[in-house]
Amino acid sequence: MTTKTTPNWAHVDLKAIPDIKVPPPGPQSQHWHDRCTKLFKGLSSQVKLFPVTFESGYGCVLTDVDGNRYIDFSSGIYVTTLGHCHPKISEAVAKYARQLMNAHDFTTPIKTLLLEKLARVLPGDLNGFQFYDCGTAAVEAGMRVLRAASGKNEMISCFYDFHGKTYGAVSLAEIRSPVYGRVRAPGMHMVPRPNPYRPLWTKADGTIDTDKYLEFYGEYIDRATVNDVAGFVLEPIQGWGGSVMPPDDFFPKLRRFCDARNILLMADEVLTSWARTGKWLCMEHWGVVPDVVSIGKGFGNGFPVTCVAVREPFKESFEKISASSSYGGNPMACAAALASTEVIEEENLLARSLHLGELAMKRMKKMMAEHRIIGDVRAKGCLMGIELVKDRKTKEPFDEAGKRVYQKAFRKGLAWIPAGHILRMSPAVVMEDEVLLKGLDIIDEAIGETAQELGY
């Protein structure tokens, strides 16, 4: 298989999508949404902005209860990386739903096969594992490993990263909720991370100066911590922050910085792993092996299964942290993760993801040349973003434009992800070239209409 082809099961008739029969959200969507939200609270911004009710999905196509068919640029918020209802994955889950649903943390053959597969595909000496049922649980377990392995307590994380919604995970990010008393957990520290489009420190030529960030980290640790830092925890690419890509020299320098200070490095790859960026782990793009990694979302292609992987010297730390969980590593979850891993190998989807990212960048750069409200475009594999600004010189965020573009594109048949002024895209890696380009055409059209409405 070449990188320009997709599996037959995921083929889509381009003339059949999108297919909007009733202006969405249609009457059936509204009916079910109204019934649901009388009882179900705490919706995400994407649902609040566009309350459609989905009924089915297959490959890269979603269908709502009114019969409207959408190109899916969300993948269930970065989850169905291999497309909805991949036949091999669905069958694997169904097999164990009939055979053995849960055996706590007892050994099962399917778990053993998954563990052996992970040890083969992951880089370096990442060969110690535990399984969980959500990304937050994996992040929390990863932090416990950092503390157990290092004998230290404090954590360093970065502005605009996102790591989950329990108190420990939230304390790695911004806390602005009275639920947590607006107080970060003790020993949790945050520092800025390099954003090439919005740098804090630049060189004489105007390019970002990553050395200045590392210098600041050193001074911050010396001055603001009690010199008891267990780990540096961060996303390789920011998801919630807006698909923000780091400079290529940042992670190699951070790896050396952590080693020099005897600090462990944890990559939260819940969003970026398992072909999303064209590698098993996004950190492989920079040749860096973290000490601890959290893996999730696309790991089970929709089934709730996540993983913590640690390097050889630290894997016995799992024995110190009460690592097991009720649902982690259940046979259905292991079957989903193993099948997803095998599909990526069998269908050459790492290369496919990279190809789609390159294709998207060419198209988005063309869009940027035509619309002055686009300040920046970025993609690494099938993790993509478009940043909207009021002025390219001031880079003032254009939140109103982001909201309108999101809603307009959705009405035209594109299901995707809002993030204020940043448009986020995570198409399935099995998407055909023509479908990807058609989705980007819809975004292009929505940006043009929005810019005209807002006088730009």
Could you read off the pLDDT of 47-101 as tens digits, one per residue?
Answer: 999 999 999 999 999 999 999 999 999 999 999 999 999 999 999 999 999 999 9
d(CA 205, CA 119): 43
| Residue 396: C-alpha distances to residues 45, 175, 198, 387, 401 (Å) | 21, 24, 11, 10, 12
- Domain 87-346, CATH: 3.40.640.10
Query: Which tens digits make up the pLDDT trace of 423-456?
Result: 999 999 999 999 999 999 999 999 999 999 999 9
**Digit-coded pLDDT (tens) for 352-368:** 999 999 999 999 999 99
Two tokens, residue 52: 């459609």
402 DSSP assignment: H
CA–CA separation, 181 and 187 (whole Å): 16
For 455, half-sphere exposure in the C-beta direction (CA atoms, 13 angstrom radius) is 0
Residue 190 pairs with which residues in a beta bridge?
157
C-alpha–C-alpha distance, residues 235 and 161, integer Å: 6
Query: Running DSSP on this structure, what letter comes out for residue 247?
Result: P
Q: What is the rounded distance in angstroms from the CA atom of residue 102 to the CA atom of residue 324?
A: 13
How many CB atoms neighbour CB 245 within 10 A? 22
pLDDT band at 1 (very low <50, low <70, confident <90, very high): very low
CA dihedral 78→81→83→88, nearest 10 degrees, is -140
Measuring CA to CA, how many Å separate 271 from each of 7, 31, 80, 134, 193?
24, 32, 11, 11, 18
Q: What is the pLDDT of residues 305-341, one digit of tens each?
A: 999 999 999 999 999 999 999 999 999 999 999 999 9
What are the distances in angstroms from CA 73 to CA 62, 399, 407, 409?
A: 10, 20, 14, 11
CB 17 within 8 A of CB 71: yes
Given a cut of 80, whether residue 181 has pLDDT beyond it is no
For the chain, give every domain's residue range.
Answer: 1-72+371-376+409-425+443-456, 87-346
Q: How many CA atoms lie within 13 A of 162 on its CB side?
A: 14
- Report the greatest alpha carbon distance in the chain: 64
Can you read off the two tokens belonging to residue 244? 């923000």
